[in-house]
Amino acid sequence: MFKTRRVQGLLIFAAGLLAGLMIAGIRHIVFPKAALAQDASKGAPDLEAMQADIAHLKEVVPSQSHTMTDVGYQFANLWFAGKHRNWPLADFFLNEARQHIVWTIRIRPVRRNPDGGSIDIRAMFEGISDGALKELTDSIAKKDEAAFTTSYKKMLEACYSCHVAAAKPYLRPEIPTVPPQTIINFDPEAKWPQ
């Protein structure tokens, strides 16, 4: 028993040491210029190198259209989960959609319109979150299919108003006709394995 605990302790120590070494090495991969500059000076990091790394990170951030495609995917699946009265799955897809909207806002919280004006997407989402999104959340929590249908449509209207405000009125969401996710079974009574 004592040997087993000693071996376990050594394995945990070795795993911790290995993890620490890996994390220290990752900074050289993720932020190579800043890591090299800091290693070279053995002191304060090089401000120029850090600015270059920040500029690089800004270049590789996905566009809002990428994250909104994810929102559409989650929202379409949400429709089918709700229509099948699979409330835990509907809740899952709603939370995924919400998280992707928040991600979208983090990418660009304020959008410039073609006329030079701007729209505060974060403030707009707060209104949607307290209104249409809350109603949709409540309909799922209550497992109320009629309320779900109504609030889902209301949420699509809120989405469209955001698109219009962002000078993108051609982005018109609608009730999906086919689920984008064909590998997930929406039936709440489905058994596994099939």
Token reading at 55: 């500029």
For the cut 90, the answer to whether the pLDDT of residue 43 exceeds it is no
Question: Are residues 19 and 102 both part of a single domain?
Answer: no
Domain CATH for 159: 1.20.120
Give tens-digit pLDDT for 105-126. 998 899 888 888 899 999 999 9
91-109 pLDDT per residue, tens: 999 999 999 999 999 988 9
Residue 19 domain-assigned? yes
pLDDT score of 58: 84
18 shares its domain with 110: no
Contact 162, 137 (CB under 8 A): no
**CA angle, residues 100, 104, 110, in degrees to nearest 5:** 155
Determine the structural domain holding residue 82 and report its residue range. Answer: 64-165
Q: Would 194 be classed as within a structural domain?
A: no
Closest CA to 190 of 95, 75, 85, 94: 85
Q: What is the pLDDT of residue 97?
A: 97
**pLDDT, tens only, 141-192:** 999 999 999 999 999 999 999 999 988 999 999 999 999 988 899 999 998 8
Domain for residue 174, yes or no?
Answer: no
User: Total domain count for the chain?
Assistant: 2
Residues 81 and 50 in one domain: no
Q: Is residue 191 part of a domain?
A: no
Asked whether residue 154 falls in the same domain as residue 69, the answer is yes
Q: Are residues 29 and 51 in the same domain?
A: yes
Q: What is the pLDDT of residue 17?
A: 53
pLDDT for the residue 21? 55
Residues 69 and 26 in one domain: no
104 and 147 part of one domain:
yes
> Is residue 39 included in any domain, yes or no?
yes
29, 80: one domain: no
21 is a domain residue:
yes
The H or E element spanning position 111 is: strand 110-112
149 and 92 inside one domain:
yes
Q: Are residues 90 and 112 in the same domain?
A: yes
Confirm whether 134 is domain-assigned: yes
> pLDDT at position 61, please?
83
pLDDT the model gives residue 111: 87
10-41 pLDDT tens trace: 556 555 655 565 565 655 555 565 555 555 55
| 149, part of any domain | yes
Q: What is the pLDDT of residues 44-81, one digit of tens each?
A: 778 888 899 888 888 888 888 889 999 999 999 999 99
CA atoms of 45 and 128, how far apart (whole Å): 43
